[in-house]
Chains A and B, each alone.
Chain A
Amino acid sequence: MDTNGLKNIEQKVQDHIAELNRNQLLSESERDELFDHFLTTISTLTKNDLSAKEAFEVAKIRFGSVQDFRKEYKKVRPLKAFYHHVMFALLIYFGVYFLCGLAMVLGMLALFLTTKFNLGLELRQTYLMLTIMLLPLLLLSFYGFKKMVERKKSISIQAIWILGLIVFTGVLGRRIYAVYQFKSIGGSMNATDFFFQLMLGDYNMIFSIFSLVLLIYVWVKIRRDRYLALA
């Protein structure tokens, strides 16, 4: 097999392993083990007059169904599977929250642009026009995100980091602004107490902190697994 063909096949194998590991139940050493397994199978099959592509297809069939493999790992690692479900639920929660926030910000942006540059049209018409103009931008972002997910199949962990941090920063900013408003109207309560009361009363903030703690826990666990695998 030439270098290009080998690189191509290795990439295909990595993609298939990412598919097997969609629920992120495999450690790094286990992924390495599967990589070795597939490449050994492929190299044996290519010696029997199969092309690299055919050998890869045969290796996949011999390995068995992706769903069965995931199901078996879920049975062996129930806690990790549960963690994955929690993370997925949080991802959906933050995703919806983020999209609502994004729509609100875009609406505000459109309103700001409308008042600033009304293009000589009626206020309502300008607002509508600018909102429609923002739509391709939204679609483009969606397309970019979709491409990113396709390229990197195990995106959920990274996405939750980003979304969690955005929500965290957003809520924090909103709360600081509320305290600023509270102070400006001369509220009788201590500003710090007011701030914490607001923070603890916000589910988004609690979920953000919860997801960050979970992520740190998993990060430490992955590091520990890697260390143990090397030891």
Chain B
Amino acid sequence: MYVWILKRNMKVISKDLIAASTIPIVLSILKEGDDYGYNIIKKVTERSNGNLKWNEGSLYPVLLKLGQKGCIRSYTIKERGRNRKYYTIQKPGYALLEKLKGEWLSLNKILGELWTPTVSKI
């Protein structure tokens, strides 16, 4: 029952939109400080009040891709007998975040204008 409810509630925002927003969200969280995979997901869920729920497994290929581009770097810390991998944002990461921020804000502005009801002039 619990599993069924979980499955049902997972798609709050459409899959395509989630995929498109993953990189700017990850970079924004890492801008606040170094973090590890599980905690990044937790922060996303908390900040979005549970509206944005990722398939947790989709985060790791994104982190790898960002690592390959040199946007982030990782280091490992041993915590409670386990290796925990932390990510830290790099210069190209900041630049990419700024670029994406600009794109999302202008898109948001366009949609805002399109959806705001205008008073018709008689």
Contact = CB atoms under 8 A, between A and B. Distances in A.
A73 B65 CA distance: 9
A58 B2 CA distance: 8
Contact of B83 (A20, A29, A58, A73): A29
Interface of A: 20, 29-30, 32-37, 39-41, 50, 54, 57-58, 61-65, 68-69, 72-73, 75-77, 229-230
B56 interface: yes
Contacts of A63: 55-57
B76 A76 contact: no
B55 A64 contact: yes
Given A58-B3, A61-B6, A62-B6, A36 B57 contact: no
B55 A29 contact: no
Interface in B78-110: 82-85
B60 A30 contact: yes
B6 A29 contact: no
Nearest to B83: A32
Given A36-B38, A37-B38, A64 B57 contact: yes
A34 B3 CA distance: 21
Summarize A's interface: helix, strand, loop or mixed.
helix
Which 3 pairs from chain A and chain B are nearest by CB?
A64-B55, A72-B61, A64-B57
B116 interface: no
B55 A75 contact: no
A33 B6 CA distance: 24
Contacts of B74: 29
A58 B65 CA distance: 27
A229 B76 contact: yes
Given A37-B37, A76-B65, A57 B3 contact: yes
A223 to B, nearest CB: 17
B57 A69 contact: yes
B47 interface: no
A50 B36 CA distance: 24
A36 B86 CA distance: 12
Given A41-B38, A58-B3, A68-B58, 19 more contacts: A20-B57, A32-B76, A32-B82, A33-B36, A33-B83, A36-B82, A37-B38, A57-B3, A61-B6, A62-B6, A62-B55, A62-B56, A63-B55, A63-B57, A65-B57, A69-B58, A69-B60, A73-B61, A230-B76
Interface string B53-82: 001111011001100100000101000001
18 contacts: A29-B74, A29-B76, A30-B64, A36-B36, A36-B82, A37-B38, A58-B2, A58-B3, A62-B56, A63-B56, A69-B57, A69-B58, A72-B58, A73-B61, A73-B64, A76-B64, A76-B68, A230-B76
A103 B110 CA distance: 71
A117 to B, nearest CB: 60
